[in-house]
Chain A
């Protein structure tokens, strides 16, 4: 896909912006519209960025939809929606169209839309949900409460080791595993779901800490020559099987 210039697509034209959009503009990011959202396409030439992303990259997915459901009826209601659900807490399962469903506890689930916005799982579930007719299920809007970052590459576990007490080496922390823990001394959900053969750790944390986490992660990535990356690099990695 071709890169779009910042003149053509600017975050200020969109109601939903990442908390990092000023940083993205300052870094010379090119933006791309994916369905009804705007996200960073790339910071440099995509081919170079893919290489860097497979080594160590950090992407901002905060404009991508996400939401949660919680309550004693959440499991059965999500089952009725014909979704594949993880059997145990702290596991994630990918759906046919690429969205991820994470089980955060026995009765709490988090839904992350796919990168292409092909499934629209989060929007569909939100539209189907009604507090009155859905007993024991509570909607947890996550678009405004949590930022969503992706740390990719073979050096990602080494980078995370500097900030987090959990062993995230790829042979210790399986694909689809989740750790809800402290990252750079802030609470975060870390979900490993690889893009093709490249390790990928999705990070969700309090939205008010987005800039702190972004800067802290980039700082921690410096010694491994890690760089910010856009969604085109992520997509290319996911196709690299």
Chain B
């Protein structure tokens, strides 16, 4: 069994985790184009090399980030999302429908 190290819980069997997709910053929903928003939600760059990904520890509902080499499947490091998101993101107009043109 592959082992992944959760920043909160330590090394665990990979069966305790769920893959959450590539990490990229969310575009501003107010000013984003539909194309940009769709890319954020649906499209993956699918790069060969070291990428940053979201992972989820099922037992604790804990989301974190991992740097993984997609060629060798080696996990370089895992870290807390708070290392990137230090404060809450606010968008002025909460009613904006980002999916519309």
A interface residue numbers (CB < 8 A to B): 89-90, 104-105, 165-166, 179-182, 187-189
Contacts and interface: CB of A to CB of B under 8 A. Distances in A.
A181 B12 contact: yes
Contacts of B59: 180-182, 187-189
A188 B9 CA distance: 13
Secondary structure at the A interface, as helix, strand, loop or mixed, is: strand
Contact of A179 (B1, B9, B58): B9
A187 B15 CA distance: 11
A64 to B, nearest CB: 22
B8 interface: yes
Contacts of A165: 1, 12-13, 16
B37 interface: no
Contacts of B16: 165, 181-182
A90 B9 CA distance: 8
Interface in B43-97: 57-60, 62
Given A165-B12, A165-B13, A182 B62 contact: no
Contacts of B57: 180
A-B interface, 3 closest residue pairs, ranked by CB to CB distance from nearest: A187-B59, A180-B59, A180-B60
25 contacts: A89-B8, A90-B9, A105-B8, A105-B60, A105-B62, A165-B1, A165-B12, A165-B13, A165-B16, A166-B12, A179-B9, A180-B9, A180-B57, A180-B59, A180-B60, A181-B12, A181-B16, A181-B59, A182-B15, A182-B16, A182-B58, A182-B59, A187-B58, A187-B59, A188-B59
Nearest to A185: B15
A188 B60 CA distance: 9
A90 B12 CA distance: 14
A188 B16 CA distance: 11
Q: Which of A105, A165, A181, A188 has the most chain B CB atoms closer than 10 A to its own CB?
A: A181
Interface in B13-37: 13, 15-16
Contact of B13 (A180, A182, A188, A189): A182
A215 B2 CA distance: 29
Contacts of A188: 59
Contacts of B62: 105
